[in-house]
Amino acid sequence: MAEKVAKLGVSREKDFMYYVKDGGVWKVQRKQPGVPKGRPEKVADGGFEMDTNYIYFVDRDGDVARAKRAVGGQKRKKTARAAKRKPSRKPAKKTAKAKGGKKKAAKTKVKAKGKAAKGKKRR
C-alpha cells in the first residue's frame, strides 16, 4: 500500500519519535512524566516535494514512505432498517424554573413545621 519516496536509512533510537516535515526527517524526544518537553532536531534531508493527498512517514527500514490519505473516512452501506426509519421528534423538556418552583414551596413548609415544633416544650 505504501510506496517509498526516499531511501535514507535513518537509524532509530528508542526514546525518540520520528516524523516527516517539509521533505526532511525530524526527531523529538517522547513525552515522559517529569521530563521537560524536548526540542525537534533534523535528522536527514530527503530532498523531495510533499503532496497533501498523501501521508508521509518513516518506515521500518528508516526510509521515507507515503500512503494515500483517507479523506472523509470510509463509506458504509445503508441498512434497510435505517432507510425506512423516520427521524422521531422528542417532546420539549420542561425548564428548570418550572421544576424547581414546586419543590421549593414544599421545602419551605417542612422547614416552618420543624421550627414550630422545636419552639414548644415537652412535658
Residue-level pLDDT at 114: 59
Q: Is residue 109 part of a domain?
A: no
Give the domain range for residue 62: 3-68
Q: State the burial class of residue 33 (Cβ atoms within 10 Å of its Cβ: 0-12, 13-18, 19+).
A: exposed
102 or 121, higher pLDDT: 121
Region 85-94: mean pLDDT is: 71
C-alpha dihedral, 27 to 32 to 35 to 37, nearest 10°? 40
Task: State residue 64's pLDDT score.
Answer: 93
Kindly state the cell numbers that stand for 93.
423538556
How many structural domains does the chain have?
A: 1
C-alpha cell at 92: 420539549
The more confident residue out of 84 and 50 is: 50
pTM value surpassing 0.75? no
Q: What pLDDT does residue 57 have?
A: 92
Q: Is the model's pLDDT at 28 over the cut of 80?
A: yes
Instruction: Please check whether residue 90 lies inside any domain of the structure.
Output: no
- Strand-pairing partners, residue 21, are 24
Answer whether residue 56 shows pLDDT above 90: yes
